[in-house]
Amino acid sequence: MYMLKGKHILVGVSGGIAAYKAAALVRALVKDGAEVRVVMTPMAKHFITSLTMATVSKHPVLAEFYNPENGDWNNHVSLSLWADAYVVAPATANTLAKMAHGIADNLLLTTYLSMRCPVIAAPAMDMDMWNHPATQNNLQTLQKRGVHIIEPPAGELASGLEGKGRMEEPERIAAFIEQLFVKKKSLAGKTVLVTAGPTYEAIDPVRFIGNHSSGKMGYALAESLANCGAQVLLISGPTSLPVPKGVELVRVTAAAEMHAAVTEHFASVDVAIFCAAVADYTPEKKSTHKIKREKEPLLIALKPTVDIAAAVGKQKRKNQLTVGFALETGDELTNAQKKLQTKNLDMIVLNSLNDEGMGFGSDTNKITIIKKDGAIATCPLLPKQKVAEIIIDAVVDAMMC
């Protein structure tokens, strides 16, 4: 009941036959307590009138950059600042393509480019257009940028063909938006520590032993956790990524510094997620000067670093939850299960270098979540943002048990 009370939802309607369902969507959102505004493409007005959309939304509809009668400017930037969520429904193949490529030739699109809030798209088109590689590529691009795509279900299409392409029912789209806001608050009041990125173990003032972690997975987790209302402390090895909004960052370089930072904060957090690729070995001695090139092989003695997750796992309280990652190259499941136990984790996220598109540096990952009760859930290859949301859902579920 009134799950969207106080929320500002902007509905973008593009020109397809499913535009007639946009009126029902607006009604459902208004009934749920949301304040709704509508922006339409010029083509959409051929499918449903502005009068209908203005009546159901209780606000004038925006379709042009300015009012030709008095020169009033429809400011897309202020619309994007106003909105808590932007749902483009229906999203035609043309509008999705333009969104993916940053084309801004109507008010719906300029508004999309200025959006700071979650964007949801409910595609609607003929099944051959849906299946076309161009459309599928555009959808992937948008998903990678964090746009939520509500996949069209299969059924009878306006063309008379049967297949995937009809827009999802308005009530389901409204329910999806409600869920976004419920999820947004699900970690309010909780503090979550995330480790991310690589560590650099210095050999001399110039060289180090490092690894290929970009930090993308850990930063995606930090961002999604902040979006869910958590207070997030991100302890990060060297990366060039921007700090996600609302996240407190502690920068470290070597494994020993990461260990010190995690130890300092662990007692005060509710959840810790160890996503960093921490060096298992560090040079026994760091040369104070740049090591000169010689003819003989250079031997560097390495000593083990502290296993951070295992060390704090020993101090874990009953009301704390810890999540580890396992990066494997063989015998994946068994190795990950061992790590789950030796590090006293509540769950471990396995990713394998044998899976194409996973892990290091890429924008995607393919994970399997293993819980301490033995439950195993495998996910397909997905954008890291989506992977982060799946991990957070598992954390929220575990906290409720």
Which chain residues interact with ligand PMT by CB under 6 A? 195, 197, 213-217, 255, 274-278, 280, 305, 307-309, 324-327, 339, 351, 359-361
Which lies closer to ligand PMT via its Cβ, residue 179 or residue 342?
Answer: 342
State the minimum distance, in angstroms, from the CB of residue 318 to ligand PMT: 21
Phi first, then psi: what are they for 163, rounded to 5°?
165, -170
Min dist CB 223 to ligand PMT, Å, is 13
Nearer to ligand PMT, 56 or 232 (CB): 232
Q: Least distance from C-beta 213 to ligand PMT, angstroms?
A: 4
As measured in angstroms, the least distance from the Cβ of 363 to ligand PMT is 9
Q: Where are the beta strands (DSSP E) in 305-391?
A: 321-328, 347-352, 364-365, 368-371, 376-378, 382-383
Q: Which of 320, 376, 375 is nearest to 193 (CA)?
A: 320
Residue 21 vs 339, nearer CB to ligand PMT:
339
Report, in Å, the least distance between residue 198 CB and ligand PMT: 7
Q: Which of 227, 318, 238 is nearest to 276 (CA)?
A: 238
Quick one: 76 or 339, whose CB is closer to ligand PMT?
A: 339
Cβ closer to ligand PMT: 215 or 244? Answer: 215
Q: HSE, CB side, 13 Å, CA atoms: give it for residue 31.
A: 10
Taking the CA of residue 215 as centre, how many other CA atoms within 13 Å lie in the half-sphere pointing to its CB? Answer: 25
Q: How far is the CB of 283 from ligand PMT (least distance, A)?
A: 15
Identify the H or E element spanning 283.
Answer: strand 281-283
- Cα separation, 142 vs 245, in Å, equals 20
* Closer residue to ligand PMT, CB minimum distance, 132 or 372: 372
Smaller CB separation from ligand PMT, 9 or 271: 271
* Opening angle at CA 374, ends 369 and 376, nearest 5: 35
Locate 141 and state its tokens. 């691009």
Provide the token pair at 296: 């003989």
Query: What are the C-alpha distances in Å from 352 to residues 90, 360, 394?
Result: 38, 10, 20
> What whole-number distance in Å separates Cα of residue 337 and Cα of residue 350?
9
Smallest distance from the beta carbon of 393 to ligand PMT, in angstroms? 17
Distance of CA 318 to the CA centre of its chain: 29
Instruction: Give ∠ CA 149-125-88 in degrees, rounded to 5.
Output: 40
Three-point CA angle 366, 112, 48, nearest 5°: 110
Which sequence positions are flagged as catalytic? 211
Helix, strand, coil percentages for the chain (3-state, nearest 5): 35, 25, 40
